[in-house]
Chains A and B, each alone.
Chain A
Amino acid sequence: MANASLLSVRDLTVKFPRIEPVRNLSFDVSEGETLAIVGESGSGKSLTALALMRLLPKAAQITSGRIDFSGRDLLKLDDRSIRSLRGKEIAMIFQEPMTSLNPVLTIGRQITESLRLHEGLSAKAARLRAIELLDLVRIPAPHKRIDDYPHQLSGGMRQRVMIAIAVACRPRLLIADEPTTALDVTIQAQVLDLLDRLRRELSMALILITHDLGIVTQWADNVVVMYAGRKVEQALPEALFADPLHPYTRGLLNASPRLKDDYHYTDGPLTEIPGSIVSAIGENGCPFAPRCPIVRSGCRTRVPDLLVPAEDRLVACPVIFAEGERHVAARGL
Chain B
Amino acid sequence: MSLLAVSDLHTHYAGPSGTLRAVDDVSLTVEDGETVGLVGESGCGKSTLGKTITRLVAPTKGSIVFKQEDITRISERSLRPVRRRLQMIFQDPFGSLNPRQNIRDILTAPLVVHGYGNRAERAKRVEALIDRVGLPRTALSRYPHEFSGGQRQRIGIARALILDPELVVCDEPVSALDLSIQAQILNLLSSMKKDLGLSYLFISHDLSVVRYFTDRVLVMYLGRIVESADNRTLWAQPKHPYTRALMDAVPDPSRRRQAAPISGDLPSPQNIPSGCRFHPRCPLATDICRTVDPALTSFGPTHQVACHHADAA
Contacts and interface: CB of A to CB of B under 8 A. Distances in A.
Contacts of A278: 148
Contact of B253 (A211, A241, A251, A272): A241
Contacts of A193: 257, 259-260
B186 A40 contact: no
Contacts of A274: 184
B190 interface: yes
A120 interface: no
Contacts of B257: 193, 196, 218-219
Nearest to A140: B264
A290 B258 CA distance: 38
Interface stretch (B2-10, B24-32, B105-113, B201-209): B201-209
A219 B259 CA distance: 11
Contact of A211 (B179, B261, B262): B179
SS of A interface (majority) = helix
A293 interface: no
- In this complex, the member of B35, B150, B180, B208 whose beta carbon has the largest number of chain A beta carbons within 10 angstroms is B180
B41 A185 contact: yes
Contact of B179 (A184, A190, A215, A252): A252
Contacts, number: 126
B285 interface: no
A272 B249 contact: no
B182 to A, nearest CB: 7
Interface in B12-43: 35, 41-42
Contacts of A190: 260, 263
A257 to B, nearest CB: 4
A184 B150 CA distance: 22
A184 B235 contact: no
Contact of B180 (A218, A241, A273): A273
- In this complex, the member of A154, A184, A252 whose beta carbon has the largest number of chain B beta carbons within 10 angstroms is A184
Interface residues of B, number: 45
Given A186-B41, A256-B179, A272 B212 contact: no
B205 to A, nearest CB: 6
Contacts of B246: 185-186
26 contacts: A41-B178, A156-B265, A184-B42, A184-B205, A184-B266, A185-B207, A185-B249, A185-B250, A186-B41, A186-B262, A190-B260, A211-B178, A213-B179, A214-B253, A217-B253, A218-B257, A219-B257, A255-B183, A256-B208, A257-B209, A261-B208, A265-B190, A265-B213, A270-B183, A272-B187, A277-B178
Interface of B: 35, 41-42, 148, 150, 178-184, 186-187, 190-191, 205-209, 211-213, 231, 235, 245-246, 248-253, 255-263, 265-266
Given A185-B205, A270-B183, A276-B181, 15 more contacts: A185-B206, A185-B207, A188-B249, A193-B257, A217-B253, A217-B256, A252-B179, A256-B183, A257-B186, A265-B35, A269-B183, A269-B187, A269-B191, A270-B187, A273-B183
Closest 10 pairs (CB-CB, A-B): A258-B208, A214-B251, A257-B212, A184-B41, A255-B183, A273-B180, A40-B178, A189-B260, A270-B183, A217-B253
Interface of A: 40-41, 154-157, 184-190, 192-193, 196, 211-215, 217-219, 241, 251-252, 255-259, 261, 263-265, 269-274, 276-278
